[in-house]
Structure 1
Amino acid sequence: MITFHPTLPVLVVIVGAIALGLCIWQLVAVRGRRLAWLRRTLLVTLAVAMAFRPALPGGEVPTASIQARVFVMLDTSQSVAAEDWGSEARLAGMQEDVVEIARSFAGADLSVISFDSQAILRVPLTDDGSAVIEMVRALRPEIAQQSRGTSVAVAHDLLKTELERSAADDPASPAIVFYLGDGEHTAEEQPQSFADVGGLVDRGFVLGYGTEQGGRMRISSFNPNEDRYVQDPAGGGDAISRIDQGQLRTIADQLGVSYLQRAPGLPLADALGPMAALEGAADLDRTEQARLEFAWVLGIPIALLLAWEALSLARSLRSTRGILGTDRRAPVGGGTGVRERIR
C-alpha cells in the first residue's frame, strides 16, 4: 500500500489546490491554448504528488530510544568499485554496513556524508533510518570522467561544521562517527589531519574495505551499458586498487576511535551493540514499517514537461520578436504609397 509523508502537508495542500485550480480554470476558459494548460495541469499534479513523498513498504526497521548524533562518512570515489569484496565491489560491503549501523542506532539522529573529489552532505541529521538506508543503497561510485583525485580527508571541513552545528543544537547527545573507506589517497596534496575533529567525537569506528591484493575497478560512467575497467596509465592493463590500512589507522588515531578491517561475512553488529547503548538501546524484536520513497521517479516526467514548457516559451518569444521586428520595418503613415500616387 502506498503511503504519504509530506513535510508541510497544510502548505502543500493549499499551494497545490490554488495552482491546480488556476490551471483547470485556464484549461476550460482559454480554448486556443488547451494543450499548454493541459501540460501545466499535469505538471502541477506531478509536483504536488512528489511533495507528498509517496512510498511503498520496504521491510521493517527496529524501534529504539537512542539519543545520539551519528555521522556516517562514506567513500564514493572510483576505487570503491574495486571488485575485492568477495566477487562484488567494495561499495556493496559499505552499503551493507550502513544498513547495519542504521539498524543498530534506530531512533538516533543519523547523517550521511559522501566523499570523492568533493564532500557532499547527502542526509542531514534525521531520525528516519529508512531514508538513510534508501539513499545509501542508491549511491554509486564517482563518474570516472569527473574524478580529479581523492583526498581521504576531503570531508574534514564538512564533518567539523556538522559536528559543531549539531553540538550547539543538542549538546547532551554524544557524537558518533563512522568513516567507511579504503584509505586510497590519490590527490596531490597531503591529507588534512582529523586531529582537530577528534575532540568533537565521542565514539565511532574507521571501517576499512578492500584487500592487499586489490581488485580491478569497473568504470563508472554516464552510459549505463558501458562495461570497461579503469586502465593503468603507467603500466598498461587494468588498474588495481588496494586498501591502505596505514592511512586508515592514522585517521582512526586522529579521530580517537578504533579501526576495523571489514570482510564479507564478518558481522558488524557485535561491535556496534555496546556503542549503541549510550542513552538507550535498540530493541531489535520491536520493529516498525520502513518506507521506500519513490518520489524521485516523478522527477523524470516533471523534467520532461519543464523542458517542453521551456521549448514552447522559446518559440513564443521568437514569434513575438518576429512580429515586433516586422512592425519596426513597416513604413510610417504609408509614405511610399502616397509618393507613388503623386507621381
Structure 2
Amino acid sequence: MTGAPLSFEAELPWLVAAIGVVLLGLCAWQLVAQRGRRLAWARRTALVVLAVAMAMRPAVPGGEVPTASIQARVFIMVDTSQSIAAEDWGSEPRLAGVQEDVVEIARAFAGADLSVISFDSQAVLRVPLTDDGSAVIEMVRSLRPEIAQRSRGTSVAVARDLLRTELERSEAADPASPAIVFYLGDGEHTAEGQPESFGDVAGLVDRGLVLGYGTAQGGRMQASGFDTGQEPGYVQDPSTGGDAVSRIDEGRLRAIAEQLGVSYLHREPALPIADALQPMAEADGEADLDRTEEARLELAWLFGAPLALLLGWEALSLARSLRATRGGFQGRGA
C-alpha cells in the first residue's frame, strides 16, 4: 500500500492554519515596522512556524502494520536503565533486542490497546493505552538508556505501582478486555534494598511474558550522556578501574514472572518470538498478518528541540527587557 509522501493529522486543521496565518501576518508587519528589532521578530516568526508545524502533526508513510480485531489491554514494560546498553545482544546493545521484540508484540497484537511504561531509576508512562501500534513502535525505537549522571540506582520493581494504577484504571473503563503484561529487562537490580513484589498485581493480569535480555558472561555498557558530540565511552567499574560489565540476573526475572503469574523467556538474537506471541494474541481475536494498512510516522517531535531553544531565547530576552524597564523606572524615581 502506498500513500502521499507527507500527510497532516491536525485535530482542527483549518483553525490551526487560520491562527498561523494571523500570527505570521503580525510577525511580517513587525519585521517591516520595527527595523531595529528584526532579530527578535525573526525569532518569533520561527516560533510561530514551528508551533504551527507541530500542531499540524505532519507524518510520512512508515511501512505497513497488520490489521486485526484483537480485544485486549496490552502493557509493555521496558527497561531503560544503563545496563540495557550492555553489548551482549550479539554485538549490539540489549536495547536493540528489546526494540525488535516490541515491534513483534505490536504486530502480534495489532488492533489491541497498547501501552508502554519505561523504567530505570523511575517509572514513566510513555504511551497511554492506544490502538495506534505504529506510534508505540516509533516511540520505543526512540528510547535511549538513562543518562548515566542522572542514575540513582535501578529497582527491577520501580514500575510496579504505575503498572497497577494503569491496570486498575483500564479495567474500570473496559472490564471485558483481558490484561496482558510484557516485562522486558535484564533483571539487574542496583537500588538499595530488596525490590517490591509484583504479587499484588497478579490478580489484575490475565497473561503475559517476562522477557530476559543479556548473557551470563555479560557485556560492556556505553555510557549515556548529555553531549552526543563526544566519542562515547564505557561505564567504569570503580572497584577495578576498568570497564564495568553487566550480566543478566535470570533469578530475579524468573521471580518477577512467578509473582505476575506468567512465563519467563530468555531472549537471544537468533530466537524468534512470534511463536510465543501468536497463541496469546489469537485467544482474543484474529490477527491477519497478510492484511495490512499503512502506518504513519509522526514528525512533530522533530520540532520540539528547536522550539524549546527559541522559547528559552525569547524568555531570556523578555527577562532582560523587564530588568531594563525596571531600572529605567528606578532611575526616574531617584
Q: Is TM more than 0.5 here?
A: yes
Mapped pair 1:258 → 2:260: no
- For each residue in 1:101-157, what CA deviation from the matched residue of structure 2 results, as whole angstroms up to 9, or x when unmatched? 000001100000000000000000000100000000010111111111110000000
More off after superposition, 308-317 vs 81-90: 308-317
Q: How does 1:251-290 map to 2 (within 5 A)?
A: 251-290=256-295
In structure 2, the residue matched to 1:21 is 22
Query: Contact conserved, 2:23 with 2:48, CA < 8 A, in 1?
Result: no
Q: Which runs of no fewer than 5 residues in structure 1 stay unpaired?
A: 330-343
> Which of the numbers 88, 92, 96 marks the counterpart of 1:92?
96
1:72 counterpart SS class = strand
Mapped pair 1:239 → 2:241: no
- For each residue in 1:189-216, what CA deviation from the matched residue of structure 2 results, as whole angstroms up to 9, or x when unmatched? 1100000100100010000001111111
> Which of the numbers 49, 55, 59 marks the counterpart of 2:59?
55
1:305 counterpart SS class = helix
More off after superposition, 14-23 vs 286-295: 14-23
Residue type of the alignment partner of 1:227: P
Q: How does 1:96-115 map to 2 (within 5 A)?
A: 96-115=100-119
Q: TM-score scaled to structure 1, two decimals?
A: 0.91
CA distance in 2, matches of 1:245, 1:260: 10
Q: How does 1:297-312 map to 2 (within 5 A)?
A: 297-312=302-317
- Structure 1 residues 22 and 147, CA, compared in 2 at 3 Å: closer, same or farther? closer
- For each residue in 1:230-265, what CA deviation from the matched residue of structure 2 results, as whole angstroms up to 9, or x when unmatched? 111223311111111111111001000000000011
Mapped pair 1:116 → 2:116: no
How far apart are 1:278 and its partner, in Å? Answer: 2.5
Residue type of the alignment partner of 1:325: Q
1:133 counterpart SS class = helix
List structure 1 segments (4+ residues) > 2 angstroms apart after TM superposition. Answer: 12-20, 25-30, 32-42
Query: Contact conserved, 2:16 with 2:56, CA < 8 A, in 1?
Result: no
Q: Percent identity?
A: 73
Q: Which runs of no fewer than 5 residues in structure 2 stay unpaired?
A: none
More off after superposition, 103-112 vs 45-54: 45-54
Q: How does 1:8-157 map to 2 (within 5 A)?
A: 9-10=11-12, 13-14=14-15, 17-18=18-19, 20-25=21-26, 27-28=28-29, 31-32=33-34, 35=38, 36-157=40-161
In structure 1, the residue matched to 2:234 is 229
In structure 2, the residue matched to 1:341 is none
In structure 2, the residue matched to 1:333 is none
1:71 counterpart SS class = strand
Residue type of the alignment partner of 1:220: S
CA distance in 2, matches of 1:124, 1:4: 22
Residue type of the alignment partner of 1:242: R
More off after superposition, 309-318 vs 33-42: 33-42
- Structure 1 residues 25 and 294, CA, compared in 2 at 3 Å: closer, same or farther? closer
CA distance in 1, matches of 2:173, 2:327: 58
In structure 2, the residue matched to 1:176 is 180
CA distance in 1, matches of 2:29, 2:83: 56
In structure 1, the residue matched to 2:162 is 158
2:225 counterpart SS class = coil
CA distance in 1, matches of 2:56, 2:34: 33
Query: Contact conserved, 1:231 with 1:239, CA < 8 A, in 2?
Result: yes
1:44 counterpart SS class = helix
Query: Contact conserved, 1:20 with 1:44, CA < 8 A, in 2?
Result: no
CA distance in 2, matches of 1:78, 1:39: 37
> Which of the numbers 205, 210, 216 marks the counterpart of 2:220?
216
Residue type of the alignment partner of 1:190: Q
- For each residue in 1:15-63, what CA deviation from the matched residue of structure 2 results, as whole angstroms up to 9, or x when unmatched? 5523641552464278226634443333223212101211111111111
In structure 2, the residue matched to 1:334 is none
| Structure (1 or 2) with the larger CA radius of gyration | 1
Query: Contact conserved, 1:16 with 1:44, CA < 8 A, in 2?
Result: no
Residue type of the alignment partner of 2:239: A
In structure 1, the residue matched to 2:198 is 194
Residue type of the alignment partner of 1:155: A
- Structure 1 residues 227 and 46, CA, compared in 2 at 3 Å: closer, same or farther? closer
- For each residue in 1:283-313, what CA deviation from the matched residue of structure 2 results, as whole angstroms up to 9, or x when unmatched? 1101111111111111233223223322331
